[in-house]
Homo-oligomer: A and B are copies of this chain.
Amino acid sequence: MSHLQQSFAVRFTYNVFFTEKLFKSTNPLLADFFTQQSSELRKKILFVIDSGVADAHPDLLTDIKAYFAQLTDRVELVPELIVIPGGEISKNDPALVEQLVDAVDRHGVDRHSYIVAVGGGSVLDMVGYAAAISHRGIRHIRIPTTVLSQNDSGVGVKNSVNYRGKKNFLGTFVPPVAVFNDRDFLITLDDRDWRAGISEAIKVALIKDSLFFEWIERNAEALAARDMETMDYLIHRCAEMHLEHIAGGDPFEMGSSRPLDFGHWSAHKLEQLTNFELRHGEAVAIGIAMDCLYSQQLGWLTDADTNRVLKTLRTLGFSLYQPMLDADESKGVLKGLAEFREHLGGQLTIMLLQGIGKGVEVHEIDAAKVRWSIATLKEQEPTAESQLV
C-alpha cells in the first residue's frame, strides 16, 4: 500500500465595475474589457436577458446590438439575444437550463467564449449555472440589474437552480470573469425590489461593521425615498464587504461556517412557505429581525440595539411579520432549521449577534425562543388600520 498526494491551488480574479449607461457607445468599459482579453481569436458572446429588464428598458436589445456592432474586430455577438422570464420562476424551470445549453451547442459557443447574463439575482443564478456546466464552464459575465444582485449575489461565486421546489438544490461554485453594475437599471425597479436588496446590506453590516450599520440607520429615509446617490454608496460598500468576505475566508464554502447566511435560515423557509411570493430580500429582513430578537433573549444584543435594527427595517418599509411564520410547526419555519443544516451540511451553524457589527456562531437553536421572537414580531406589526393613520 502506498499513496500519492495531490495538492494545488487555483486562482480566480475578476473585477466588479460600477458604471452607468453601459451599452451607450460613449461608454468604453465593455469595449475595453474585451480588448484587454488578449487573444488571437474573435470570441463569441451570447446574451441572456431577464424579461423584466427587457420590458422595463425597451431599447436594451437594440442598444446591445449597436454596441457590439462597433466591436466586430474583437468579438462576435451571437445575433439571437435570448430573453427568459425574470424572477424566481427562472430557477424553477429545468427547460430553461436546457434551452441555454442548446443555444451553446447551436451557436458553437466554446469555453473561451462568453455568456453574459443581464438581470436580477434569479436570472443570474440560473444563467451562471448553465454557463458553469456547459463544456465544463464557459466564461461568464454578470450584469446585475437589481439592488440585491448588484450588492450581493451578482458579485459572488455561487450559482444555482431550484429542483422540484427545493431552493438552490443544484448549483456550483464558479466565479464570473467580470461584473458590470450599471446604476441606471435600478431606476425601473418596483419599490419591493428596490427595498429587498437593502436587507443584504443590513445583514453584512450587522455581523461585520457597526459604522456601516449606523450609516444605513441614518440614511434609511433617503433610501426609502429612492435617493440614488445614497443607493450608490450602499451598493458599493456592500459589494466590497461581500468580496472581502469571500476572498478572506472559505470561498467555496468547504467548512461549516457561513456567516453571510445571518438571518437566512428562516428566510429560505419563508420564501418556500409563501411559494416565493415573498422576495428573497423581504424574507431576509424578517429573518434578521427574528435573529436579532433571539440574540436579545440571550442577553447578547441590548434592547436598545435590537430596537434600532427593527426600526431601521421598518423605516425602509419592510414588513417584519408574515402569517406563514405561524404555520403549523410540522411544516413551519422551524422545520427550516433542519433543511438549512442539510443543504449546508455539517454541523448546524447559525450566526447571531453579540452587538451591532459583531456576529457570533452558535450550534443550537431553542424553539421556545424562536416562538417568542415570532410572537413579538406579530404583536409589533402595525395593523392595516394603524398603517392607514
Given contacts A105-B164, A246-B8, A252-B10, contact A171 B136 (CB under 8 A): yes
Q: How far is the CB of A141 from chain B (nearest CB, A)?
A: 14
Given contacts A166-B105, A169-B105, A170-B134, contact A29 B12 (CB under 8 A): no
Q: How far is the CB of A378 from chain B (nearest CB, A)?
A: 32
Q: How far is the CB of A126 from chain B (nearest CB, A)?
A: 13
Number of chain copies forming the complex: 2
Q: How far is the CB of A98 from chain B (nearest CB, A)?
A: 9
Q: Spot the interface stretch: A16-24, A195-203, A261-269, A379-387.
A: A16-24
Q: Using Cβ atoms and an 8 Å threshold, which residues of chain B touch A17?
A: 1-3
0/1 per residue, A95-132, Cβ < 8 Å to B? 00000010001001011110000000000000000001
- Determine if A299 is an interface residue (Cβ-Cβ < 8 Å): no
Q: Using Cβ atoms and an 8 Å threshold, which residues of chain B touch A210?
A: none
Bound-state Cα–Cα, A330 to B20, Å: 48
When the two chains form their complex, are residues B240 and A346 in contact, meaning their CB atoms are under 8 A apart? no
CB closest residue in chain B, given A348: B41
- Determine if A189 is an interface residue (Cβ-Cβ < 8 Å): no
Q: How far is the CB of A223 from chain B (nearest CB, A)?
A: 20
Pull 7 A–B residue pairs with CB atoms less than 8 Å apart, ordered by A: A2-B18, A6-B13, A7-B12, A9-B12, A39-B347, A133-B171, A136-B172
Q: 8 extra interchain contacts, Cβ-Cβ under 8 A, other than A2-B17, A7-B247?
A: A5-B16, A6-B175, A9-B10, A10-B10, A101-B163, A110-B343, A113-B345, A137-B173
Using CB atoms and an 8 Å cutoff, list the residues of chain A in contact with chain B: 1-20, 29, 39-41, 101, 105, 108, 110-113, 132-138, 155, 158, 160, 163-164, 166, 168-175, 236, 239-240, 243, 246-247, 251-253, 256, 341-347
